[in-house]
């Protein structure tokens, strides 16, 4: 307990509750000094934030914040399941930013031991975020002599970014729109909130594919819409089951890669959906969260191509680049633009101006295209790796679907029901995953199906995860 004693004495001696410096700063500085000064040598195990906070009667939040900062800066290392350690500081404190490594070059992290392998969907591999290129774009914006970069952004977004997004959509999604039809938002959730408010003044009520990611009904309801679920199956939204007399102004659908089922809506259903929407004067809200990563079959066009006059297309940079940017967009039918501008002004939608300008450069200079191409190859390999790992463990007792696109697939296990007992076994074996039925609005229909996100997992983690699934479900 020598290091712990070190730490106690250090804080006990120097922690001041009065004076100019906050506890956070004091704790941060003192830990840094002791680490750089060698009093806390590499490998020293620190007490948990809980122990430390209790020990010194300070808010645990403060300790957590300081630990996170020191971990982030590389002073400390978290070892899964065994606590926080002082890092062996070989490199200088500020190593130069490495340019984003090629996928091949990623050092595969050693598989978790105590820590859980998480198949929870939704995150790309942020470890491969091209930090150097993004920072260079931020720097370019920083050089702007135009002070407006630091002022409020136009409510519908930066003209430069909207122009680049329009060009990007033409290149990658075959969407033909003007920058004026694009509204920049803080990701898909903000885009959906915006659309919900825009459309509720027109006609409230939403038909929503079921299953669906939880924030969709939540945000639509929060904005005042009633939700009517419409079942989705292995091919996506079951168009025949749309109500004959819809009490709604919109249909929410994810045709490129239904979440969570993973289906790509086939053309006959797309045509039927558009026809239905036209007959009932509905607008279609198309959530296109990860179609950039198409692993099998021909690329699929956006619904915008079929019905530009009634599709609101939601896109995001969270999956194809990084969630931390909080950047997404809506492509609107031209006729909705005036109302959309009004709603954007009412909601004060303005998104961080300099982030928008940096993204405009990031796209314009070709970095986004190159990053997507690199990640596409990487994610495809990971999808294949997970598929074969599951087949190796479960043979024909598992059926894989929804793997043609994106960052997750669906694994349906024969003669398995994911009830509380099964879930307890998953947890006990250190593997985390959502079931498809976790996303059910109405009756759960997929008792044996897991939605497995693999985009953020390195190959060894994927193998280890499959091993633990097998152990938990009783296949090894």
Those residues whose C-beta lies under 8 Å from the C-beta of residue 33, and which sit 6 or more positions away, are: none
Least distance CB 188 / a second copy (angstroms): 9
C-alpha distances out from residue 79 to 63, 85, 100, 142, 462, Å? 18, 7, 24, 37, 19
Compute the Cα dihedral for 81, 407, 376, 171 and give only its sign.
negative
Nearer to a second copy, 188 or 412 (CB): 188
Nearer to a second copy, 224 or 266 (CB): 224
Give phi and psi for 284, each to the nearest 5: -105, 125
- Using DSSP's 3-state secondary structure scheme, residue 190 falls into helix
Least distance CB 348 / a second copy (angstroms): 4
Least distance CB 444 / a second copy (angstroms): 22
- Using DSSP's 3-state secondary structure scheme, residue 191 falls into helix
How does DSSP assign 36-73, residue by residue?
A: HTTSS-TTPEEPPHHHHHHHHT--HHHHHHHHHHHHHH
Nearer to a second copy, 109 or 243 (CB): 109
Nearer to a second copy, 173 or 387 (CB): 173
Nearer to a second copy, 140 or 399 (CB): 140
Angle at which helices 353-364 and 367-394 cross, to 10° = 80
Q: What is the three-state SS of 359-414?
A: HHHHHHCCHHHHHHHHHHHHHHHHHHHHHHHHHHHHHHHEEEECCCECCEEEEEEC
How far is CA 298 from its chain centroid?
A: 25
Least distance CB 124 / a second copy (angstroms): 9
Least distance CB 140 / a second copy (angstroms): 8
How does DSSP assign 84-140, residue by residue?
A: EEE----S-SSPPPPPPPPGGGPPPPPPPSSSPEE--SS---GGG--HHHHHHHHHH
Least distance CB 384 / a second copy (angstroms): 23
Nearer to a second copy, 145 or 443 (CB): 145
Least distance CB 353 / a second copy (angstroms): 4
Least distance CB 355 / a second copy (angstroms): 7
Q: What number of CA atoms fall less than 13 Å from residue 101's CA on the CB side?
A: 11
Least distance CB 180 / a second copy (angstroms): 5
Nearer to a second copy, 97 or 271 (CB): 97
- Using DSSP's 3-state secondary structure scheme, residue 330 falls into strand
Angle at which helices 215-222 and 187-200 cross, to 10° = 40
Nearer to a second copy, 411 or 458 (CB): 458
Beta strands in 234-370 (DSSP E): 236-237, 250-253, 283-288, 311-316, 328-331
Least distance CB 352 / a second copy (angstroms): 4
Nearer to a second copy, 24 or 48 (CB): 24
Least distance CB 182 / a second copy (angstroms): 9
Nearer to a second copy, 394 or 439 (CB): 439
Whole-angstrom Cα distance, residue 325 to residue 223? 24
> Which pair of tokens denotes residue 48?
């948990």
Nearer to a second copy, 277 or 321 (CB): 321
Q: Would you give the end-to-end CA distance of the chain in angstroms?
A: 40
Contact 186, 328 (CB under 8 A): yes
Nearer to a second copy, 85 or 354 (CB): 354
Least distance CB 286 / a second copy (angstroms): 19
How does DSSP assign 427-464, residue by residue?
A: HHTTEE-EEGGGG-SSS---TTEEEEE-TT--HHHHHH
């Amino acid at each position: 307990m020598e290091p712990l004693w070190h730490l106690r004495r250090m804080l006990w001696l120097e922690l001041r509750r009065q004076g100019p410096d906050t506890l956070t700063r004091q704790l941060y500085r003192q830990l840094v000094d002791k680490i750089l000064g060698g009093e806390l040598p590499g490998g020293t195990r620190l007490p948990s934030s809980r122990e430390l906070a209790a020990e010194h009667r300070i808010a645990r939040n403060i300790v957590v914040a300081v630990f996170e900062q020191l971990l982030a800066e590389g002073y400390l290392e978290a070892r899964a399941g065994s606590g926080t350690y002082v890092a062996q500081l070989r490199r200088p404190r500020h190593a130069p930013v490495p340019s984003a490594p090629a996928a091949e070059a990623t050092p595969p992290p050693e598989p978790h031991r105590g820590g859980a392998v998480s198949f929870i969907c939704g995150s790309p591999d942020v470890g491969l975020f091209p930090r150097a290129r993004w920072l260079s774009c931020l720097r370019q914006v920083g050089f702007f002599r135009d002070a407006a970069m630091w002022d409020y952004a136009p409510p519908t977004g930066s003209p430069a970014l909207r122009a680049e997004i329009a060009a990007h959509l033409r290149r990658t999604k075959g969407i033909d729109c003007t920058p004026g039809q694009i509204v920049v938002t803080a990701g898909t959730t903000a885009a959906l909130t915006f659309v919900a408010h825009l459309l509720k003044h027109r006609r409230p009520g939403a038909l929503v594919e079921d299953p669906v990611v939880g924030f969709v009904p939540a945000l639509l309801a929060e904005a005042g819409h009633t939700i009517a679920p419409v079942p989705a199956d292995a091919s996506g939204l079951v168009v025949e089951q749309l109500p004959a007399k819809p009490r709604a102004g919109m249909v929410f659908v994810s045709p490129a890669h239904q979440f969570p089922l993973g289906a790509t809506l086939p053309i006959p259903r797309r045509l039927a959906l558009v026809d239905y929407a036209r007959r009932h004067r509905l607008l279609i809200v198309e959530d296109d969260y990860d179609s950039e990563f198409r692993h099998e079959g021909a690329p699929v066009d956006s619904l915008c191509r079929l019905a530009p006059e009634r599709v609101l297309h939601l896109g995001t940079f969270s999956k194809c680049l990084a969630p931390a940017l909080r950047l997404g967009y809506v492509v609107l039918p031209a006729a909705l633009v005036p109302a959309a501008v009004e709603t954007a002004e009412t909601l004060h939608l303005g998104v961080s101006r300099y982030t928008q300008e940096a993204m405009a450069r990031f796209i314009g200079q070709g970095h986004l295209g190159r990053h997507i191409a690199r990640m596409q190859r990487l994610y495809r390999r990971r999808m294949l790796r997970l598929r074969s790992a599951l087949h190796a463990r479960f043979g024909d007792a598992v059926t894989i679907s929804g793997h043609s696109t994106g960052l997750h697939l669906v694994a349906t296990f024969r003669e398995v029901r994911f009830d509380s007992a099964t879930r307890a076994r998953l947890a006990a074996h250190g593997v985390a995953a959502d079931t498809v039925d976790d996303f059910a609005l109405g009756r759960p229909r997929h008792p044996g199906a897991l939605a497995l996100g693999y985009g953020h997992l390195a190959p060894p983690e994927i193998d280890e995860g499959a091993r633990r699934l097998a152990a938990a479900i009783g296949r090894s």
